[in-house]
Amino acid sequence: MLIAGFGWRGIFWVNLPICALGIAATCAWVDDTPRSAKARGIDLPGQALAAVALAAFVGAMIELRPLGITHPLVLGGITLAAVAGGLFITVEKKSAAPMLPLSLFADRTFSAAVTFGIFANLTYYGMVFVLSLYLQRVLGHTPLATGLAFLPLTGGFLLSNLASGPVVARFGSRGPMIAGALLDAAGFAALAFVDASTPTVALLIPFLLIPSGMGLAVPAMTTAVLGAVARERAGTASAVLNTARQAAGAIGVAAFGALASHGAGGAEAAQIVVGVKWSAGISVGLLICGALTAWFVRNAAAREEGASCGRAVRQGD
């Protein structure tokens, strides 16, 4: 509706009331965390290098599709991101108060959950982009009709997110992550069979399977990440997860968009269909990898049992 009424720039206005409500809710209901007496300051060099690396990398990924991999801007962005990323790791290893404690990645649950989040966001946002092209340029829908067609794909998260909480509480994070990834993969697999004459109603099943799987897996993934770190590092762990997922989403849009970007007129429509099929197949493969990765996540009960055993051994010593 915003695009139809105000153009594509209008979509950014939707963030204002949502952010205002978020700020109000935070002030009203979220308690402040106690400040650590061991805090050693702010890692300004690390933050600067991380900002440069992420900005250069995401910028290069965004410009990859229109400019091509050989364009100096794209190559320069990738090179700058690699150099800044290497310097960032070096600085974090030597910093007394690192912005990103690299020791977090020594925990297999944390590393597996972050990797899972990369697979999930890369596939979802990449596919949403190519599906928007498919609905508008192949099936001929208006932006408003496309938004309405996406309602099951986005609205399905509401129900599956609500269901995920009790499931994670009972079975831990690993099972819901694996089941969610496979359910998500099944939805993308169904999209591998679309063509230029596929009716919109036929997209309903994959558009319900995808958010059902994602909505089940993502809360479990977040629980696994936060459960893998000490309370004082919860903010850092959450930031790492969100940053990795957002960067992965940008990569997915660039990579999948490139698969659907060539051609003009009828050739453009045919290329978009090919792009949807290839993107769906790649997504299935990545989500299967995500399900395998989730196997390395230790459930909270197992982690607590291990910690209790460790405490018992130390007390016995």
Predicted confidence band of residue 267 (pLDDT cuts 50, 70, 90): low
Burial class (CB in 10 A: 0-12, 13-18, 19+), 15: exposed
**Greater confidence, 267 or 268?**
268
CA Rg value for the chain: 22
Query: Residues 79-91: pLDDT tens digits?
Result: 999 999 999 999 9
Express each pLDDT in 122-181 by its tens digit.
999 999 999 999 999 999 998 889 888 999 888 888 888 888 889 999 999 999 999 999
At residue 129, the pLDDT reads 93
Tokens of 64: 């990859």
% of the chain residues with pLDDT over 90: 58
Query: Distance of alpha carbon 142 from its chain centroid, rounded?
Result: 27
Which range in 31-40, 147-156, 203-212 is most confidently predicted, on average pLDDT? 203-212
